[in-house]
Amino acid sequence: MTLLEIFKYLFKTSESSAVATPTAGIPDLSVSDLLRAIEAMPGEIQTANGFYFLKGRHEIAGRRLENNFYAAERLKRAKKYLPGTSFVPFVSALAMAGSEAVSNSKQGSDIDLLVLTKPNRIWLGRLFLSAYFQLFGVRRHADFIENRFCLNHYLREGKVVDREKNLYTAIEYISLVPYFGGDKIYEFQKANLNWIKNYLAEPQLVKYPPAKPAVLKTIFESVLNNPLGDFLEKQAGRFQKHRIQIQDSVIVEDDELSFHPGNKGRQILEKFN
């Protein structure tokens, strides 16, 4: 990790445990304090190519540098296809998440996206956004994974999450890189900051100015801001629920849709603990 990443993701610990757990807090630190702490442990933490790592793990610094190049290539792909998503009805914000958000995606990876939708329009928003990526043939599905966009998490704008609140998800939400609707992403992060601070000592938020909405999108949304739109939302939900395979780590609610079968976050936390 870089020094700034270590500072950004520094987690809180209880005095009796080395694992991240909710606590009353720790004294405020600065980046300079962190650097001095690292330098006070000579030989335990080493550095190369701008990355810090535990003693004897030089190879992960090399892999991280290599993964930066893969992430840069996917960023070019994102710049090609994501601008059009700002015109998709009922989608308030879209952000890159996961490994791509921290420039650490491996060869063969997809591009994880987190989507915020208008209240009571999550199913229509998902339907239109899926159609957009499917039209260009870049939506991840079945065995089509590499360099495709993975639409695996939808949330109603401003939602305070009530499931899967842990160190892994705290880092995921703080790491979001907005492509549009950055002000909505900021509001979502701020709304969830209370529980995120239970795990991260210095979570950093970036406040973005609101972007001017697309005229045609605004008109279309206003036309369906009525009982007809409510009816279409209900029908879209009924159609999509019929196609969703319910399993562990799949959340299907009217203000959150999350598709993480296998739950990579839990697996990582188990290894970490």
Range of the structural domain that residue 157 is part of: 72-272
Checking if the pLDDT of 141 tops 90, the result is no
Q: Judge whether 252 lies within some domain.
A: yes
In this predicted structure, what is the pLDDT of residue 239? 94
Q: Judge whether 145 lies within some domain.
A: yes
How far, in Å, CA of 6 to CA of 271, rounded? 19
Q: Judge whether 235 lies within some domain.
A: yes
Checking if the pLDDT of 26 tops 70, the result is no
Q: Judge whether 58 lies within some domain.
A: no
How far, in Å, CA of 257 to CA of 116, rounded? 10
In this predicted structure, what is the pLDDT of residue 27? 57
Beta partners for residue 114, in sequence order: 95, 153
Beta partners for residue 115, in sequence order: 94, 154
Q: Judge whether 28 lies within some domain.
A: no
Q: What is the pLDDT of residues 88-122, one digit of tens each?
A: 999 999 999 988 888 888 888 899 999 999 999 99
Token pair, residue 209, equals 């100015």
Q: What is the pLDDT of residues 206-245, one digit of tens each?
A: 998 888 889 999 999 999 999 999 999 999 999 999 988 8
Q: Judge whether 77 lies within some domain.
A: yes
Q: What is the pLDDT of residues 32-58, one digit of tens each?
A: 988 998 888 878 999 988 899 999 898
Number of domains in the chain: 1
Per-residue DSSP letter, 143: T
Of 263 and 59, the one with more pLDDT: 59
Tell me the H-state helices in the chain.
3-8, 31-39, 58-81, 98-101, 122-135, 167-174, 182-191, 193-196, 215-223, 227-243, 264-272
Q: Judge whether 212 lies within some domain.
A: yes
Token pair, residue 202, equals 């210095």
Token pair, residue 235, equals 């029908």
